[in-house]
Every structure is written in C-alpha cells, then in structure tokens.
C-alpha cells in the first residue's frame, strides 16, 4: 500500500468536491425553507385548481400563448365555468398583481428564468417607472 496517501487523499478530495453544494449552502446560510409567493387576497380560485396551477401553469401559459397567437382563440373557460381572456398581463396579473412577490419568488427559488418578461410587460413595474 505504497499509494495509501494518494488514494486516501484522492478520496477525501472527491468527497469534498461532491458534497461542495452542501458546504456552500451552509456557509451562505441558505435555508431549506420553500418559497413564499404572495397569494391574492380577494380571489380564492384561479383558472384551474390550485394544485394544477402549481404543477403546470407553464403548460397552461404555453397553451394560452398558442391559442391566442396561432389560433386567434382568446377566451378560456375555466374549470368552474367562468370565462377569462387568455392574457398574461391583463388576466393573470389582475389578481397576481406583483411579479416580484409572486412569479419571481418561486422562479428565483427554483432557479428558472422564464423569458416571458423579455417581451411582456409587468404593468406594475411600468406604473412605477412612469410615476
């Protein structure tokens, strides 16, 4: 076992490297607590049940997008029979008034960067920059 030093050293280095994210988070003080998006107060129902929205709002939005842009369909009938205009900034943002407190909180936590806002405009942000 002439190579013991090398083997053990290598193992230690390997372990250190693969557990790096753990140490990094400990050092940075990141908690395991989930995100806390601010939910609308006055409205209890979304266009689909909350569980559905939570899991697949992105698919719904992509579907809305294709309906409006490619098939000129603009009206969406929700699961409870109410109808909505398929419009991110006007329909979604009417209840979820703050992109920062709703969208961004989860997206930042999950480390995803949807490109919706490259083009679509957060009405509240616009008000603030104008006013």
Partner 1 sequence: MKIRRRTFLGIAGLSALAVAEQKILGRVAGQGRNEASPRATGSQTARWAMVIDLRACLEKEGCTDCIAACHKVHNVPDFRNAAHEVKWTWKEPFERAFPGQKSRYAGQALQGGPVLVLCNHCDKPPCVRVCPTKATWKRADGIVMMDWHRCIGCRYCIAACPYGSRSFNWLDPRPQIRDLKADFPTRSKGVVEKCNFCEERLAAGKPPACVEACPERALVFGDLEDPASRVRELLRSRYAIRRKPELGTEPEIYYLV
Residues of this chain that interact with partner 1 (CB under 8 A) are 48-49, 51-52, 55-56, 59-60, 62-63, 65-67, 69-70, 72-77, 79-81, 89-90, 115, 118-123, 126, 129-130
Q: Which is nearer to partner 1, 39 or 74 (CB)?
A: 74
Instruction: Give the largest CA-CA distance in the chain.
Output: 76
- In Å, what is the CA distance from 5 to each residue of 13, 19, 95, 97? 12, 21, 62, 60
Nearest approach, Cβ of residue 36 and partner 1 (Å): 22
Nearest approach, Cβ of residue 68 and partner 1 (Å): 9
Q: Which is nearer to partner 1, 12 or 53 (CB)?
A: 53
Q: What DSSP element (H or E) covers 54?
A: helix 50-71
């Amino acid at each position: 076992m002439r190579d013991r030093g090398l083997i053990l050293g290598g193992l230690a280095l390997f372990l250190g490297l693969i557990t790096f994210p753990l140490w990094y988070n400990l050092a940075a003080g990141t908690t395991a607590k989930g995100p806390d998006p601010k939910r609308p107060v006055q409205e209890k129902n979304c266009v689909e049940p909350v569980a559905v929205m939570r899991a697949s709002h992105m698919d719904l939005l992509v579907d809305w997008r294709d309906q409006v842009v490619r098939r000129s369909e603009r009206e969406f009938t929700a699961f409870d029979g109410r109808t909505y205009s398929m419009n991110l900034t006007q329909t979604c943002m009417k209840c979820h008034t703050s992109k920062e407190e709703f969208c961004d909180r989860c997206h930042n936590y999950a480390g995803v960067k949807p490109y919706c806002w490259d083009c679509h405009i957060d009405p509240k942000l616009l008000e603030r920059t104008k006013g």
